Chain A
Amino acid sequence: MSLPKLRSLQARIALFFVILLITVQAVLVLLVSVSGERIAKDRIAQDLLVGERVFRRLIEQSNRQLADAARILAADFGFRTAIATRDYGTIVSVLANHGARIDANVVMLADLDRKLLADTLHPEQRATEFPFPDLIALAERDRQASSIVLIDGKPYQVVVVPVLAPVPIAWVAMGFVIDDRVAHDLRAVAALHVTFLSERRNGRWTLHASTLPGPLRAALIESGSAAGSKVGLGFVKLAGEEYETLAPVLGSGPEGNVVALLQRSLRESLEPFERLRSILLVMTLFSIGMTIAGSVLIARSVSRPVNRLATIARSIRDGDYSQKAAVEGQDEIGELAASFNHMLDGISAREEEILRLAYEDTLTALPNRAMFLDRLQQAVLTARRTNDPVSVMMLDLDRFKVINDSLGHAAGDQVLREVAHRLRELLRDSDTVARLGGDEFAVLLPTGTSDGVAIVAQRILRTLEAPIMLEGQPVDIGASIGVASFPEHDDEGDSLLRHADVAMYVAKRANSGYAIYDPRYEEGRQTQLSLLSELRRAVENDELSLFYQPKIDLKTGMIRRAEALVRWIHPTRGFVPPVEFIPFAEQTGYIKRVTRWVVERAVQQAGEWHRDRLDIAISVNVSTRDLMSNELVDLVAALLQKHAVPAEQLCLEITESSFMEDPARALETLGRLHALGVRLSVDDFGTGYSSLAYLKKLPVEEIKIDRSFVMHMVEDEDDAIIVRSTIELGHNMGLEVVAEGVEDHSGMEFLKRLGCDQVQGYYISKPLPTPQFVEWLKARRAVEQKPEAASA
Chain B
Amino acid sequence: MRALVPVVLLAAVEVDAAAVSAMVTDAAGAPVPEAVIYALPASGKLPATAPRPAVMDQINKEFVPFVIPVQLGSSVTFPNKDNIRHHVYSFSPAKIFDLKLYSGKPSSPVVFDKPGPVALGCNIHDWMVGFVYVVESPWFAKTAKTGSARLDLPDGEYDLKVWHPWLRAELPAQRVKVSGTDAQASFRVDLNPPPKATPH
**Chain A residues at the B interface, C-beta cutoff of 8 Å:** 75, 77, 80-81, 83-84, 141-143, 164-169
A71's nearest neighbour on chain B, judged by CB, is B126
A167 to B194, CA, bound (A): 8
Q: Per-residue CB proximity of B162-174 to A under 8 Å, as 1/0?
A: 0001000000000
CB contacts (< 8 Å) of A164 on chain B: these are 121, 126
The 3 closest A-B pairs by CB, nearest first: A166-B121, A165-B91, A84-B91
Bound-complex Cα distance A756 to B92 (A): 204
Give the shortest distance, in Å, between A79 (CB) and chain B (any CB).
11
User: A141–B194 Cα gap in the complex (Å)?
Assistant: 8
Which B residues are CB-close (under 8 A) to A75? 126
CB-CB nearest in chain B for A168: B194
A–B Cβ pairs within 8 angstroms, 28 of them: A75-B126, A77-B87, A77-B89, A77-B123, A80-B91, A81-B91, A83-B91, A84-B91, A141-B195, A143-B194, A143-B195, A164-B126, A165-B89, A165-B119, A165-B121, A166-B119, A166-B120, A166-B121, A166-B122, A166-B126, A166-B127, A166-B129, A166-B197, A167-B119, A167-B129, A167-B165, A169-B91, A169-B119
Please give the distance in Å from B58's CB to the nearest CB on chain A: 13
Closest-CB distance, B8 to chain A (whole angstroms): 28
Give the complex CA separation of A141 and B120 in angstroms: 21
B121 contacts A84, CB within 8 Å?
A: no
Contacts of B194 in A (CB 8 A): 143, 167-168
A59 CB to closest chain B CB (Å) equals: 23
Chain B: residues with Cβ within 8 Å of the partner, total of: 19
Contacts A80-B91, A164-B126 known; list 7 others, CB within 8 Å. A77-B89, A81-B91, A165-B119, A166-B127, A166-B197, A167-B119, A167-B129
Give the complex CA separation of A402 and B160 in angstroms: 180
Q: How far apart are the CA atoms of A166 and B122 in the complex, in Å?
A: 8
A164 and B194 CA atoms in complex are apart in Å by 11
A571 to chain B, nearest CB (A): 169
| Chain A residues with CB below 8 A from B91, complex form | 80-81, 83-84, 165, 169
Does B128 interact with chain A (Cβ within 8 Å)? yes
Q: Is B90 an interface residue (CB 8 A)?
A: yes
On whether A166 and B128 interact (CB within 8 A), knowing A77-B89, A143-B195, the answer reads: yes
What distance in Å separates the Cβ of B6 from its nearest Cβ neighbour in chain A?
29
- Tell me the nearest residue of chain B to A169, going by C-beta: B91
Shortest CB distance A246–B (Å): 34
Question: Which B residues, 33 to 66, have Cβ-Cβ distances below 8 Å to chain A?
Answer: none
B15 at the interface (CB under 8 A from A): no
Contact with A along B157-200 (1 / 0, CB 8 A): 00000000100000000000000000000000000001101000
Most chain A C-beta atoms within 10 Å of own C-beta, residue among B90, B121, B126, B129: B121
In Å, the complex CA distance between A165 and B128 comes to 10
The answer on a CB contact under 8 Å between A165 and B126 is: no
| Known A-B contacts A75-B126, A77-B123; A165 and B92 likewise in contact (beta carbons under 8 Å) | yes
Chain A residues with CB under 8 A of B119: 165-167, 169
Q: Which residues of A contact B127 (CB under 8 A)?
A: 166
A75–B92 CA distance with the chains assembled, in angstroms = 15
Q: How far is the CA of A227 from the CA of B128 in the complex (A)?
A: 51
Residues of chain B whose beta carbon lies under 8 Å from any beta carbon of chain A: 87, 89-92, 96, 119-123, 126-129, 165, 194-195, 197
Q: Using Cβ atoms and an 8 Å threshold, which residues of chain B touch A168?
A: 194
CA distance A75 to B123 in the complex (A): 9
Question: Given the complex, which residues of B lie within 8 Å of A81, measured CB to CB?
Answer: 91
Return B199 CB to nearest CB of chain A, in Å: 12
Q: Tell me the smallest distance from the CB of A434 to a CB of chain B, in Å.
A: 137
Q: How far is the CA of A77 from the CA of B194 in the complex (A)?
A: 21
B158 CB to closest chain A CB (Å) equals 29
Distance in angstroms between the alpha carbons of A485 and B123 in the assembled complex: 158
Whole-angstrom distance between the Cβ of A277 and the nearest chain B Cβ: 58
User: Which residue from chain B places its CB closest to the CB of A165 in the assembled complex?
Assistant: B91
In the complex, what's the smallest C-beta–C-beta distance from B13 to chain A, in angstroms? 37
CB-CB nearest in chain B for A86: B93
A95 to B92, CA, bound (A): 20
Write out the residue numbers on chain A whose beta carbons fall within 8 Å of the beta carbon of B197: 166
Q: Which residues of B contact A143 (CB under 8 A)?
A: 194-195
A169-B92 Cα distance, complex, nearest whole Å: 8
User: Cα distance A84–B197 when bound, in Å?
Assistant: 22
Q: How far is A552 from B200 in the complex, measured between Cα atoms in Å?
A: 188
Determine the chain B residues whose CB is within 8 A of the CB of A83 once the complex forms.
91
Task: Give the nearest-CB partner of B125 in chain A.
Answer: A166
Please indicate which of the listed interface residues A83, A141, A166, A167 has the most CB atoms of chain B within 10 Å of its own CB.
Answer: A166
Q: How far is the CB of A219 from chain B (nearest CB, A)?
A: 48
B90 touches A165 (CB 8 A): yes
> A84: which B residues are within 8 A, CB to CB?
91, 96
On chain A, the residues within 8 Å of B126 by CB distance are 75, 164, 166
In angstroms, how far is the closest chain B Cβ from the Cβ of A81?
Answer: 8
Q: State in angstroms the CA–CA spacing of A687 and B54 once bound together.
A: 196
Whole-angstrom distance between the Cβ of A140 and the nearest chain B Cβ: 8
A460 to chain B, nearest CB (A): 148
Whole-angstrom CA separation of A168 from B197 in the bound complex: 13
List of B residues within 8 angstroms of A80 by Cβ = 91
The residue on B at minimum CB distance from A163 is B91
Residues of B within 8 A of A167 (CB): 119, 129, 165, 194
Interface centre among A84, A165, A168, A169 (most CB of B within 10 A): A165
Closest to A162 in B: B194
Q: Give B119 Cβ to nearest chain A Cβ, in Å.
A: 5
Chain B residues, CB < 8 A from A169: 91-92, 119
Nearest CB of chain A from residue B182's CB, rounded to whole Å: 35
Chain A residues closer than 8 Å to B96, beta-carbon distance: 84
Please, how many angstroms separate the alpha-carbon atoms of A75 and B127 in the complex? 12
- Residue picked from B91, B92, B123, B197, most chain A C-beta under 10 Å: B91
Tell me the smallest distance from the CB of A320 to a CB of chain B, in Å. 112
Whose C-beta in chain A lies nearest to the C-beta of B195? A143
CB distance from B134 to the nearest CB of A (A): 16
> Closest approach, in angstroms, between the C-beta of A407 and any C-beta of chain B?
146
Complex CA gap A126/B122 in Å reads 31
Most chain B Cβ neighbours within 10 Å, of A80, A167, A169: A167
Alpha-carbon gap, A618 to B195, bound state (A): 180
Q: What is the distance, in angstroms, from B115's C-beta to the closest C-beta of chain A?
A: 18
| Beta-carbon nearest neighbor of A80 in chain B | B91
Q: How far is the CB of B178 from chain A (nearest CB, A)?
A: 34
Q: How far is the CA of A143 from the CA of B96 in the complex (A)?
A: 24
List A contacts of B128 (CB < 8 A).
Answer: 166
In the bound complex, how far is the Cα of B122 from the Cα of A80, in angstroms? 13
B140 to chain A, nearest CB (A): 21
Nearest CB of chain A from residue B159's CB, rounded to whole Å: 26
The CA-CA distance from A75 to B91 in the complex, in Å, is: 12
Interchain nearest-CB distance for A163 vs B (Å) = 9
What is the CA–CA distance of A182 and B125 in the complex, to the nearest angstrom?
Answer: 35
Residues of B within 8 A of A165 (CB): 89-92, 119, 121
Task: Determine how close the nearest CB of chain A comes to the CB of B195; give it in whole angstroms.
Answer: 6
Contact residues in B for A142 (Cβ distance below 8 Å): 195
- How far is it, in angstroms, between the C-alpha of A278 and the C-alpha of B122 when the chains are bound? 69
